[in-house]
Amino acid sequence: MNQSQIYVGFNSRFSQSLTFFSNYTLGYANNDTDGQGARNFPLNSHDLHGEYGRSSTDVRHRFAFGGTWISPWWGLTLNPFILASSGVPFNIITGVDSNLDGQFMERPSFAPAGVACDGPAKPANIVCTPFGNFNVQPADGEAVIPRNFGHSPAYFIVNLSLSKTFSFGSFPSKNSAASSTQKPGGSGVRPAAVAEPKRFSLQFTITAQNLFNRVNFQPPEGNLSSPSFGQSLGLNGFGGLSAPGTIGSIGAGNRRIIVRARFTF
């Protein structure tokens, strides 16, 4: 695996009520396998030439932004969090074990230019898709498409939390005569009043995951023999396959509103 990345980030505290961070990554990644699993076998188990190509982690752009703002209205605290990234690559295969190695990972070749995609003139071995036109029965020695040739949709999500904390109750008093009398030799000036810490706190939080209800899809089905080729068969969760920190279930829907209460004592 060969990977190159440029990472730029910053973290700033403008005031006691406003802090935020952000980072951006430009990345390139190539390898000859994406790890274990049936979907990561080579085109030909007896010949690994031609397997070097885009990695499944070859995400060109990644962006994250988050922060905390304590508003002047009723002490409400807002925590926005934004994730955005380019789509991840996915492998396009014929779904046919033409070399009889026990794995159905053969890749097609590119269809000739100008080939008919419909009508009686369309060859049976040609499949035309939004990702390109492919020949699912390439001849021996014919160059096939690169590994991970397909490209998934981009990812974008905005999460927002709003919280309010109520503090109340006093700690048990301590009998200390020194705290109520002037120390010997003192100036006689009372120190500035300090806010007394509270014993209990009750925090209410409402969190909106995927605030704008954007539909983020999983990588599409890459098997040309499947009737679902090119379709995403699930959602990409609340953190994203192409973005780190997945939150929630990929089958849990899009926007989600969560309300929490926390009592501290």
For the stretch 239-264, pLDDT in tens is: 544 444 444 455 556 888 999 999 99
Which sign does the torsion angle of CA 105, 111, 116, 120 carry?
negative
Identity (one letter) of the amino acid at 180? S
CB 50 within 8 A of CB 30: no
**Closest residue by Cα to residue 246 from 87, 89, 83:** 83
Q: Full-prediction pTM beyond 0.85?
A: no
Average pLDDT for the chain: 86
- Can you read off the two tokens belonging to residue 191? 């120190």
Domain boundaries, the chain: 2-90+150-171+193-264
pLDDT digits (tens, 9 = 90+) for 108-149: 999 999 999 999 999 999 999 999 999 999 998 899 999 999
What tokens does 49 get? Answer: 């030439």
Looking at 40-138, which runs of residues are DSSP E strands?
A: 53-54, 61-70, 77-85, 89-90, 109-110, 126-129, 132-135
pLDDT in tens, 67-89: 999 998 888 999 999 999 999 99
Tell me, what's the pLDDT at 175?
Answer: 58
| Burial of 107 per CB tally in 10 Å (0-12, 13-18, 19+) | buried
- 28 or 177, which is more confident: 28
